[in-house]
Amino acid sequence: MRCLKFCLIGILAGAALSRAAVGQDKGLVPLFNGKDLTGWQTKGNWVVEDKGVLAIKPRPGEKGWQRYDAYLWAEGQFGDFILDLEFKIPKGGNSGVFVRVKDKKNPVNTGIEVQISDTYGKERVGAHDCGGVIGTIGPSRNMAKPAGKWNRMIVTCRGKRLQVRLNGEQVVDVQLDKTSQRDRPVVGYLGLQDHGVPLWFRNIRIKLLVKGQDPKVEE
């Protein structure tokens, strides 16, 4: 009887995990195919490693964040969407997710950047810490994992509303038209920042939103 009880618990737990997985994946489609850079553009040294991992491997002399053509830019432009991805950073690592960029030669001033950085354990966090929106708002809670661990970030853009979830916690929910970035476009390019330090991404997926559609993605 005890064995049967534990078996039933295991079956129910497995079913719950399966339902959760369906909830996570509903409507999301790969933006990165896990094999090559088809659908993306860059002059930086981005390489595809084993198991569909996308890595930044800066070449000698490649430093800093103002090498905009070294960023990895998705082809096309995006308006309202859910972007779901995972990233892993080394100690002291830094990068960012750029959305709705008008000019790829000037993404900082014409788009929105959600920060990726090594801020695990930091007590007070701001806009330049992991999950914050540069120049706008910091995360409500420090949800960054230690360097070397995979983090999951979900960025939702709908009209002027921007939401960020980091490792299962909503850390940003802001109306951009009530911030200093009220002039940013509602449609633009999407890119990943090459900050001149190694970094890894995987499971990059997107869901395009339409009017009347529920933007929630379960975790």
pLDDT by residue (tens digit) across 2-59?
443 333 333 333 433 333 333 446 799 999 999 999 999 999 999 999 999 999 999 9
Query: Rounded to whole angstroms, how far apart are CA atoms 219 and 78?
Result: 23
What are the domain boundaries of the chain? 1-29, 31-208
Q: Which residues pair with 81 in a beta bridge?
A: 157, 208
Contact 60, 118 (CB under 8 A): no
- Stated as kind and residue range, the H or E segment containing 40 is strand 40-41
SS (H, E, C) 87-134: EECCCCCEEEEEEEECCCCCHHHHCEEEEEECCCCCCCCCCCCCCCEC
Taking residues 85-93, report their average pLDDT.
96
Contact 77, 101 (CB under 8 A): no
Taking residues 156-162, report their average pLDDT.
97
Q: pTM value?
A: 0.85
Please report which confidence band the pLDDT of residue 210 belongs to, taking 50, 70 and 90 as the band edges.
confident
Query: Rounded to whole angstroms, how far apart are CA atoms 13 and 22?
Result: 14
Structure tokens at 156: 């939702």
Instruction: Name the DSSP letter for residue 175.
Output: E
CATH architecture of 31-208: Sandwich (2.60)
Terminus-to-terminus CA distance in the chain, angstroms?
A: 34
- What pLDDT shows up at residue 213? 55
